[in-house]
A = this chain, B = another copy of it.
Amino acid sequence: MKIYFAASIRGGRDDVKIYKELIDFLNQDNQVLTEHIGNGNLSVTSQSQSDDKYIRDRDINWMKEADLVVAETSNPSLGVGYELAYAEKLHKPVIILHNSTKSQLSAMINGTDYFKDIFEYETVSEAIEILKRSIKL
């Protein structure tokens, strides 16, 4: 499967090591299109509006190509919120992983009927177990 992994970039990179572990797991038997999100050296600052347009259009094209969207939502992020609404619009299957020790998930996301597969976790190994069960690798 091609997987669009969504997580915070400019919203904050505190959890980048968790993103990397989840992406590495998913990449074992799938192709994560957005694996740069797990790169701790990823530049998060914008150079120009046209760079942002390039990033946005590339990411939307990846999402159109994806069989599944996996979103890590513990760190609040405008981009992830936008991507979740876009995944809903495109009728892509969505798995949401939320670390319940870090924050409470947005009501706009938690209250949307389309998002049925919302999972709370506390440790990365728990999150990986959830992914194993959910996508039946």
Contacts and interface: CB of A to CB of B under 8 A. Distances in A.
Interface string A42-53: 001110010111
Query: How many copies altogether?
Result: 2
Interface in A51-68: 51-57, 59
Q: Report the interface size class on chain A.
A: 35 or more
Interface string A76-112: 1111111111100100000000000001111111111
A12 interface: yes
Interface of A: 8-12, 44-46, 49, 51-57, 59, 73, 75-86, 89, 103-113
A108 B46 contact: no
A111 B81 contact: no
Contacts of A52: 107, 110-111
